[in-house]
Amino acid sequence: MRLSRKKLWGQMETTALVPTTLEIKNVDLGDFKVQLPIPHLCVLLREREMGNYRVCMCFTRKFRGTEAKPPEDVQEAFRKYAEGGTHMTADQLRRFLVEAQGEAEDAATAAEAETIVQQILQKRHHIAKFTRHALTLDDFHHYLFSADLNSPIHNKIHQDMRAPLSHYFIFTGHNSYLTGNQLTSDCSEVPIIKALKKGVRVIELDIWPNSTKDDVHVLHGRTVTAPVELNRCLKSIREHAFSASPYPVVITLEDHLTPDLQAKVAQMLSQTFGKMLFYPESDCLKEFPSPEDLKHRIIISTKPPKEYLEAQTIRDNEHNSQRGKDSDEDVWGNEPSSLTADQEDEDKSDDETTDANQNCDDDDDSDSRSREAPEYKRLIAIHAGKPKGGMKEALKIEPGKVRRLSLSEQALEKAAESLGTDIVRFTQKNILRVYPKGTRFNSSNYKPQIGWLHGAQMIAFNMQGYGRSLWLMQGMFRANGGCGYVKKPDILMNTDSDNKVFDPKAKLPVKKTLKVKVYMGDGWHMDFKQTHFDLYSPPDFYTRVGIAGAPADEIMKKTKAKEDNWTPVWDEEFTFPLTVPELALLRIEVHEYDMSEKDDFAGQTCLPVSELRPGIRAVPLCDRKGERYNSVRLLMRFDIL
């Protein structure tokens, strides 16, 4: 790291430790030169005391580590609801929760307020809890800054779960068995387990005959990925399917098997899942069951086996012929460094790839079958398949029948240009799955908003890749208690008097306005080493806040950087007009400013605007993978007008 003049000499006390008897030599420290004794060259130590940094044992930098006081809005709220007193009672806290925080009367009961008071006192004052039953200003501030007690969104399932599956966005994985990149990584049950524990509800398995054609392996076809046995994957799904959510797990099978192996897979599925396995009542469902009806059930989705010998007449060439713009760069800017599972170039042109390396999705026609496997066919609840003909034909609604259609991200972008309302109408009854383009070798992902705006239920994501797109996906599925099913907004399900549906391309008026105030941040000094962000001084944090959603709503803004402070206080407010608030996500990122290098990543989160709880809230931040930090959080206020 180059040492900037601001970093070395900014607001510090400097103690010279250079002995006059030692030989002195000029040393280049980047922006300027200093004289150091030769025995101390290339030695860099730091003192362990908070706020003291030592440079080459010749300068000691001391920073005042003052604790940030409660923001003025917090102080004002305390004065108001404590009625000018020095302590806030449980009843006064209850009034604050209802009137200022927008909590429902039946949720913010006297008993609930009393519980909060006792929890705060027990945590902060082990002795005082026996002598008093009210909060001081600092106690009140501590409560507001607690991510566990004062979270920004609801953490319980609260949506209607009795509608058909097609009425929900579903947390969906792509090539769920891969441990890393799409070409050379190992296949394993471990990433499947990780995905299920994070709430993913759709697991994709590519099934192929093994080398001796007598068993079934899971692997990414036409690559050199090391296979894993299908049985291991199925047993892992059985054991972990409902560890994060009681709602159904869908297994999408990309089937490349012969009929006899299909029959073997049917036997494996039946023996592994038993009564957990959902058997459809008829060959074709007229309407999908609801998540509530399918609690703790496993659902199979794939193409039905061919019933007659049929030559392959149509090849899906979406990977080569349907290319859309790469949506990795947007108003949010370039991805922070080190965000993907591998460091391969994801901006490689589609023209640099060949058919052999393309992702072979489950809707691509595989080898023809000369006979059907009835046991296998009977297990398929969600039928996949693409009718012959163009996209207009594929999006036709078939009376008395529901199905699943899969499109690549490029195919969706192309169809959305002229068939946007057809897609929305199709997804009101049927399921649309969108999968990544074949050139995402490093398991990167695409922006999911275009799919959500058109009602696509299954936006298939590489859960082993990282980056802003995955952060958005994780943010969407923090909604509804993180159960993996989020009910689509009414705008995507309704038709007007003229039988028209929502048009994603229509220019709409502002429906709501979100006001966000960023007060302060804390916790980095607990979760990071003192020199993690800068070797010579405390970090210079700033926060980026913005909206991901409809194109008209997408924007980013940022606070000023606060220099040399582990507990930055910004106290800045931002306003976001929203035309489609139902699908808007609030994106929050914190970075550490670096004058001479790329800014350092310091945390992120993404929250559904429709789930935001108004008032002053503690917002926990996550790392690049979406794992929550132990201590890092922001104090913010949300108002939806």
Q: What band does 53 get if pLDDT is binned at 50, 70 and 90?
A: low
The string of DSSP letters for 311-352 reads -------HHHH-----TT-BTTBSPPSS-SSS---TT--GGG
Q: What band does 389 get if pLDDT is binned at 50, 70 and 90?
A: confident
Task: For 197, list phi and psi in degrees, rounded to 5.
Answer: -70, -20
Residue 621, token pair as written in the block: 């931040």
Structural domains in the chain plus CATH codes: 72-145 (1.10.238.10), 165-304+375-492 (3.20.20.190), 512-640 (2.60.40.150)
Which is more confident, 107 or 637? 637
What pLDDT, on a 0 to 100 scale, did the predictor assign at position 283? 78
What pLDDT, on a 0 to 100 scale, did the predictor assign at position 107? 85
Q: Which of 118-127, 230-239, 336-345, 500-509 has the lowest mean pLDDT?
A: 336-345
How far is it, in rounded angstroms, from Cα 565 to Cα 553? 33
Q: Is the four-CA dihedral 33, 35, 36, 37 of positive or negative sign?
A: positive
Q: What band does 332 get if pLDDT is binned at 50, 70 and 90?
A: low
Q: Using one digit for the tens of pLDDT, what is the confidence trace for 191-218?
A: 999 999 999 999 999 999 999 999 999 9
- Nearest Cα neighbor of 582 from 291, 292, 170, 169 is 169
- Nearest Cα neighbor of 164 from 457, 600, 460, 544 is 457
Report whether 405 contacts 144 (CB < 8 A): no
Q: Using one digit for the tens of pLDDT, what is the confidence trace for 462-491?
A: 998 889 999 999 999 999 999 999 999 999
DSSP code of 20? Answer: T
How far is it, in rounded angstroms, from Cα 14 to Cα 449? 52
Task: For 265, list phi and psi in degrees, rounded to 5.
Answer: -65, -40
Q: Where are the beta strands (DSSP E) in 57-164?
A: 59-62
Task: Report, as an integer, the average pLDDT of 573-582.
Answer: 98
- Nearest Cα neighbor of 580 from 487, 482, 452 is 452
Report whether 162 contacts 201 (CB < 8 A): no
Residue 88, token pair as written in the block: 């806030």
Strands 585-592 and 541-548: antiparallel
Task: Report, as an integer, the average pLDDT of 128-141.
Answer: 82
What percent of the chain has a predicted confidence (pLDDT) above 70? 78
Q: Is the pLDDT of residue 98 over 50?
A: yes
Which is more confident, 564 or 373? 564
What pLDDT, on a 0 to 100 scale, did the predictor assign at position 464? 87
Q: Under the phi-then-psi rule, with left for phi > 0, alpha for psi from -120 to 50, and beta for the rest, what region is 229?
A: beta
What pLDDT, on a 0 to 100 scale, did the predictor assign at position 623? 96
Q: What band does 614 get if pLDDT is binned at 50, 70 and 90?
A: very high
Q: Using one digit for the tens of pLDDT, what is the confidence trace for 249-279?
A: 999 999 999 999 999 999 999 999 999 999 9
What pLDDT, on a 0 to 100 scale, did the predictor assign at position 434? 97
240 is catalytic: no
Which residue among 40, 142, 220, 256 is the active-site one? 220
What pLDDT, on a 0 to 100 scale, did the predictor assign at position 52? 62
Q: Which of 209-213, 290-294, 353-357, 392-396 has the highest mean pLDDT?
A: 290-294
Q: How many C-beta atoms lie closer than 10 Å to residue 358's C-beta?
A: 21
SS (H, E, C) 249-313: EEEEEEECCCHHHHHHHHHHHHHHHHHHECCCCCCCCCCCCCCCCCCCCEEEEECCCCCCCCCCC
What pLDDT, on a 0 to 100 scale, did the predictor assign at position 45? 36
How far is it, in rounded angstroms, from Cα 122 to Cα 126? 5
The one-letter code for the residue type at 438 is G
Task: Report, as an integer, the average pLDDT of 228-252.
Answer: 97
Q: Using one digit for the tens of pLDDT, what is the confidence trace for 414-443?
A: 999 999 999 999 999 999 999 999 899 999
Task: Report, as an integer, the average pLDDT of 329-333.
Answer: 54
What pLDDT, on a 0 to 100 scale, did the predictor assign at position 51? 60
* pTM for the whole structure: 0.84
Report whether 233 contacts 208 (CB < 8 A): no
In 487-550, alpha helices (H): 490-493, 524-527
What pLDDT, on a 0 to 100 scale, did the predictor assign at position 23? 45
Which residue among 40, 141, 174, 591 is the active-site one? 174
174 is catalytic: yes
Task: Report, as an integer, the average pLDDT of 292-308.
Answer: 85
Mean pLDDT of the chain: 84
Exposed, middle or buried: residue 17 (CB in 10 Å: 0-12, 13-18, 19+)?
Answer: middle
How far is it, in rounded angstroms, from Cα 482 to Cα 157? 8
Task: Find the distance separating the first CA and the last CA of the chain, reported in whole Å.
Answer: 45
How far is it, in rounded angstroms, from Cα 28 to Cα 19? 19
What pLDDT, on a 0 to 100 scale, did the predictor assign at position 356? 34
